[in-house]
Amino acid sequence: MSEVLLRGHELTRRWGGLVAVDRVSLELERGQVHAVIGTNGAGKSTLINLLSGELPPSSGTVELLGRDVSAWPQPRRARAGLGRSYQRNTVYPSFTVQENCRLAAQARHQRPWAWWRDATACEDTRAAAHDAAARAGLTDWLQVQAGLLSHGQKRQLEIAMCLATGPQVLLLDEPLAGMGAEETERMLGLLAAVKAEHAILLVEHDMDAVFRIADRITVMVNGAVIASGSPTEVRENADVQVAYLGEHG
Amino acid sequence: MSMKTIFVFTCFAALVLWPLSAGSYGIDLVTKIMIYAILALSLELAVGTTGLVCFGQAGFFGIGAYAAVLLSPQGEAAALWWLLPACVVAAGLYAMVVGALSLRTKGVYFIMVTLAFAQMAYYVVHDTSLGGGTDGIYLTMKPVLGDWLDLDKPLVMYAFTLLGLMLAFAFLSLLLRSPFGRALAGIRVNEQRMRATGFSTYPYKLAAFTLSGAMAGFAGFLFAVKDGFVNPELMSWHQSGAVLVMIILGGLGHLRGALIGAFAFALLQELFQNEAVFGAFAKHWHLGLGLTIIASVALLPRGLVGVLGQLRERLVGRPMRRGAAPIAEVRP
């Protein structure tokens, strides 16, 4: 039986007369990759921002693990199990890979009052950091400064940092952006490996990758959903073919 | 033991030994510089560690100093055990109020708001009888701790200030490697990422700002006790600017940079004010000091703490960058 971990209901975001996201509803289930595709400016990243709490919606609600989290600020949602990555690299370049992951893991065990304790000596966070790095395939790079990693490795590190926070839901904003063919394969392997335990929302422009990995696809145009369903259903949808996929249809 | 640790120990050892070779002027000068070093360390916590460019640190410094004078009873010496914490708490409380409001802004607005709050404190003591107006007020009886700590004696004041500096440095060193300190480092680099990871950054920043203000208040207390006199200039924006220059000169992001910066700034000031060296030009010491600081910042972008690294790079080239490695294997 499917387990819905995140539910967005009638989410709308307006800036004056511009409707960036228009009554979008979607559900993310454990073990599924739900891709959101659309042209630039379709509202995909804004949708992620609404779900993660980075932006408040003009209307609509967000439910995480059965609880209405619409009024929760972003950090609280993150601690409740909502991890997200960004379109651009947001790793801490001067920190090592281990420290990037450890700092992310620290969000679950913050202990800010323990000013005399060495943060790196905390077993809980260190173990979580190592585990996340291993799952993202970065064990051999733990002591390397993140700024010195290749682009693909930085994207892997982004995912590792998300995993280190112990999330239930992953909102990934263009994790394949700027990657070569080999790096894309590695990243798809990583996503396939972690999806069993998580619900994943994937915003991506690489259509080949999306149709290979997604269990469900939602297509947005001008902030609104024009189609949603399995990859086959979306591929065969006439509106999608006209509005977005072009030759892919 | 790392080179950094050896350097810090050497500096403190030199400060311990300094009174053996220095006269009263030298002891007084280094006491003053150590007080500025504590003030610079406090600002380093806000600016270098957390990324909060505060342009009102002198406000907290002045509040600590004024509190030392105003809270001391007339005609008798206050007990150090309560006066010192009271001054630190007074400055910390003001910092908490300033931080609670100013941390809702960012960038240049934050700089301006912190400056405005410091100027408010400045004009309160400048324009009212509370702080004695432009003339300032005297601390007639210096605080004591029983019979064995007499801060009126320059050597005792020197030792007390050195101990305060060491404790402030040790405290910040521990703090920066603690979970709290690591979170502050993350906030400085990318606050949005920290929020997305699950850190409510506002309380962290407020706590850092409050601690920074409290530490500046401690420096202010020492200043008032050392000189036995306070005036509004302690809170002026020149003072805030000078401390900011100290930590930039020393090297932002390094505690030892704050130490080096405070000493370098104060000693440069002494040098350019020295009539024996510069003759009549010593009257225009601001010009010499300013030009030297501009040259230092232009030539030493990493500050004085980065001098050795820069020299090494000049002589043997940049160290090999590890990177551009093939993407790692993904293991489920």
Mean pLDDT over residues B243-269, rounded?
Answer: 95
Q: Which of A75, A118, A145 sits opposite B198 (nearest CB)?
A: A75
Residue type, B155: L
Measure B18 CA to nearest chain A CA, in Å: 30
Nearest chain B Cα to A134, which residue? B331
Mean pLDDT over residues B272-277, rounded?
Answer: 90
Cβ of residue B192 closer than 8 Å to a chain A Cβ: yes
In a domain, B75, yes or no: yes
Mean pLDDT over residues B70-91, rounded?
Answer: 93
Which residue is listed with tokens 């560690």?
Answer: B49
In a domain, B92, yes or no: yes
> CB–CB of B330 and A140 under 8 A?
no
Q: Per-residue pLDDT for A185 more than 80?
A: yes
pLDDT recorded at residue A249? 42
Q: Per-residue pLDDT for A70 more than 90?
A: yes
Contact list in A for residue B202 (CB cut-off 8 A) is none
Residue type, B149: L
Residues B219 and B15: beta-carbon distance below 8 Å: no
Closest CA to B40 of B257, B302, B234: B257
Torsion sign over Cα B196, B197, B203, B207: negative
Provide, rounded to the nearest whole percent, the portion of chain B with pLDDT above 70: 95
Cβ of residue A207 closer than 8 Å to a chain B Cβ: no
Cβ of residue A145 closer than 8 Å to a chain B Cβ: yes
Q: Which of B182, B207, B323 sits opposite A119 (nearest CB)?
A: B182
What distance in Å separates the CA atoms of residue B9 and residue A64, rounded to the nearest whole number?
A: 52
Closest CA to B169 of B39, B304, B64: B39
Residues B135 and B70: beta-carbon distance below 8 Å: no
Which range marks the domain in which residue B218 is found? 3-316
Which residue is listed with tokens 């990037």?
Answer: A100
In a domain, B139, yes or no: yes
Tell the burial category of A88 from Cβ atoms under 10 Å away from its Cβ (0-12, 13-18, 19+): exposed
In a domain, B67, yes or no: yes
pLDDT band, residue B74 (cuts 50/70/90): confident
Interval A157-182: pLDDT, tens: 999 999 999 999 999 999 998 888 88
Residues B103 and B97: beta-carbon distance below 8 Å: no
Interval A40-51: pLDDT, tens: 888 999 999 999
Two tokens, residue A179: 């990657």
Two tokens, residue A191: 């996503």
Which residue is listed with tokens 């280094």?
Answer: B30
What distance in Å separates the CA atoms of residue B252 and residue A24, rounded to the nearest whole number?
A: 46
Residues 69-128 (A) with a CB less than 8 A from some CB of B: 73-76, 78-79, 83-84, 86, 90, 92-95, 99, 102-104, 106-120, 122
Residues A33 and A42: beta-carbon distance below 8 Å: no
pLDDT recorded at residue B329? 39
Torsion sign over Cα B168, B171, B176, B181: negative
Global confidence as pTM = 0.91
pLDDT band, residue A246 (cuts 50/70/90): low
What distance in Å separates the CA atoms of residue B224 and residue B62, rounded to the nearest whole number?
A: 9
In a domain, B322, yes or no: no
Better-scored residue on pLDDT, B40 or A2:
B40
Provide, rounded to the nearest whole percent, the portion of chain B with pLDDT above 90: 77
What distance in Å separates the CA atoms of residue A36 and residue A51, rounded to the nearest whole number?
A: 13
pLDDT recorded at residue A71? 95
Half-sphere exposure of B151 (CA within 13 A, CB side): 25
- From the CA atom positions of chain B, what is the Rg in Å? 21
Contacts of A8 (CB under 8 A, 6+ apart): A24, A25, A26, A27, A47, A50, A51, A60, A61, A62, A63
Half-sphere exposure of A9 (CA within 13 A, CB side): 11
Cβ of residue B318 closer than 8 Å to a chain A Cβ: no
> CB–CB of B197 and A103 under 8 A?
yes
Contacts of B168 (CB under 8 A, 6+ apart): B38, B41, B42, B215, B218
pLDDT recorded at residue B321? 46
Measure A53 CA to nearest chain B CA, in Å: 9
In a domain, B329, yes or no: no
Closest CA to A7 of A64, A86, A50: A64
Which residue is listed with tokens 């700092």?
Answer: A103
In a domain, B277, yes or no: yes
Q: Per-residue pLDDT for B227 more than 50?
A: yes
Provide, rounded to the nearest whole percent, the portion of chain A with pLDDT above 70: 97
In a domain, B299, yes or no: yes
pLDDT recorded at residue B75? 84
Mean pLDDT over residues A109-119, rounded?
Answer: 88
Q: Per-residue pLDDT for A119 more than 80?
A: yes
pLDDT recorded at residue A243? 76
Of the given ranges (A6-10, B45-49, B131-135), which has the lowest mean pLDDT?
Answer: B131-135
Residue type, B318: R
What distance in Å separates the CA atoms of residue A43 and residue A46, rounded to the nearest whole number?
A: 5
> CB–CB of A139 and B331 under 8 A?
yes
**Number of CB pairs < 8 Å for A and B?**
135
Q: Per-residue pLDDT for B274 more than 60?
A: yes
Interval B180-219: pLDDT, tens: 999 999 999 999 999 999 999 999 999 999 999 999 999 9
**Domains by residue range for chain A, with CATH:** 4-248 (3.40.50.300)
> CB–CB of B182 and A106 under 8 A?
yes
Residue A6's φ and ψ, nearest 5 degrees, are: -135, 135
Residue type, B79: A
Measure A11 CA to nearest chain B CA, in Å: 20
What distance in Å separates the CA atoms of residue B182 and residue A94, rounded to the nearest whole number?
A: 12
pLDDT band, residue A1 (cuts 50/70/90): low
Residues 162-181 (B) with a CB less than 8 A from some CB of A: 171, 174-175, 177-181
Tell me, what CATH number does B42's domain have? 1.10.3470
Residues A223 and A20: beta-carbon distance below 8 Å: yes
**Max Cα–Cα distance, chain B, nearest Å:** 76
pLDDT recorded at residue B332? 36
Report how many domains make up chain B.
Answer: 1
Interval B142-184: pLDDT, tens: 998 888 888 989 999 999 999 999 999 999 999 999 999 999 9
HEC string of chain B equals CCHHHHHHHHHHHHHHHHHHHCCHHHHHHHHHHHHHHHHHHHHHHHHHHCCCCCCCHHHHHHHHHHHHHHCCCCCCCCEHHHHHHHHHHHHHHHHHHHHHHHCCCCHHHHHHHHHHHHHHHHHHHHHCCCCCHHHCEECCCCCEECCCEECCCHHHHHHHHHHHHHHHHHHHHHHHHCHHHHHHHHHHHCHHHHHHHCCCHHHHHHHHHHHHHHHHHHHHHHHHHHHCEECHHHHCHHHHHHHHHHHHHHCCCCHHHHHHHHHHHHHHHHHHHCHHHHHHHHHHHHHHHHHHHHHHHHHCCCCHHHHHHHHHHHHHCCCCCCCCCCCCCCCC
HEC string of chain A equals CCCEEEEEEEEEEEECCEEEEEEEEEEEECCCEEEEEECCCCCHHHHHHHHHCCCCCCEEEEEECCEECCCCCHHHHHHCCEEEECCCCCCCCCCEHHHHHHHHHHCCCCCCCCCCCCHHHCHHHHHHHHHHHHHCCCHHHCCCEHHHCCHHHHHHHHHHHHHHCCCCEEEEECCCCCCCHHHHHHHHHHHHHHHHHCEEEEECCCHHHHHHHCCEEEEEECCEEEEEECHHHHHHCHHHHHHHHHHHC
Q: Per-residue pLDDT for A35 more than 50?
A: yes
Mean pLDDT over residues A174-201, rounded?
Answer: 90
